[in-house]
Amino acid sequence: MSNVLNELADKLYAGDAKSVPVLVQSALDQGLTPAQVLNDGLVAGMDRVGVDFRNGEIFVPEVLVAARAMHAGMNILRPLLVQSHVASAGKVVLGTVAGDLHDIGKNLVGMMLEGSGFEIIDLGIDTPPGKFADAVKTHQPHLVAMSALLTTTMPGMKRTIDALTQAGVRANVKVIVGGAPVTETFAREIGADGYAPDAASAVELARALVGKEQKA
């Protein structure tokens, strides 16, 4: 792999938001394609962030500064990816469920997914079930990802799945859930397709589910 992409991955991992856009530009100037810069530079760096975060070698602050650096690089890259019709790893509709105003967990998942090449449609916080269903109709994502921090708002996840069913789009998407009080058992009970205990695991889960769907 080219030196500039290795350096890009390293700087992203280190959260260097000043160097990342410079390196993205210089990689493009060297004739590398936007897809190469994305996959072998930004995604490669973010993958290492994910692995080390899950293994307890780095922590939330490091993930956030890496994500900030990634955004700085994506600002240059995104229009070029659209122009050259590069397919994303998958499309994800993401949101914190109705009644819940917490967003850092949801944002972390969004950043890690984006850093892994997924396209994110972030519906924000306090998202009513109908808004999820509408977004699925409009954007036709592979995945719906829901977050809740409060036991009080966890039932909103079930209501959202019901809304997807009622809107006739449940079969079109995989649903994944997470958030502090959410468990694997709860995910199964409400009929979600998956649960991840942290943002890095959410990426693996998303990749597995989207991969399955694309093979099927």
Residue 52 sits in the site that holds other proteins (CB under 8 A)? no
Residue 188 sits in the site that holds other proteins (CB under 8 A)? no
Residue 171 · residue 104 · CB < 8 Å: no
Structure tokens at 1: 């792999």
Residue 87 sits in the site that holds other proteins (CB under 8 A)? no
Residue 30 sits in the site that holds other proteins (CB under 8 A)? no
d(CA 110, CA 94): 7
Residue 55 sits in the site that holds other proteins (CB under 8 A)? no
Q: Which is nearer to other proteins, 42 or 136 (CB)?
A: 42
Q: How far apart are CB 26 and other proteins at their closest, in Å? A: 22
d(CA 140, CA 70): 25
Residue 61 sits in the site that holds other proteins (CB under 8 A)? yes
* Window 124-163: contact mask with other proteins (x via CB under 8 A): --x-----------------------xxxx-x--------
Q: Contact region for other proteins (CB under 8 A) — 36-44, 96-104, 138-146, 167-175?
A: 96-104
Interacting residue with other proteins among 59, 84, 138, 211 (CB under 8 A): 59
Interacting residue with other proteins among 96, 107, 127, 160 (CB under 8 A): 107
Interacting residue with other proteins among 84, 101, 188, 211 (CB under 8 A): 101
Interacting residue with other proteins among 22, 28, 51, 64 (CB under 8 A): 64
Interacting residue with other proteins among 198, 204, 207, 213 (CB under 8 A): 198
Q: How many residues bind other proteins (CB under 8 A)?
A: 26
Query: By C-alpha distance, which of 128, 147, 131 is closest to 139?
Result: 131
Please give the angle made by the CA atoms of 89, 93 and 95, to the nearest 5 degrees: 135
Q: How many CB atoms lie within 10 A of CB 139?
A: 12
Interacting residue with other proteins among 15, 34, 50, 95 (CB under 8 A): 15
Q: Which residues bind other proteins (CB under 8 A)?
A: 15, 17, 56, 58-62, 64-65, 68, 99, 101, 104, 107, 126, 150-153, 155, 180-181, 183, 197-198
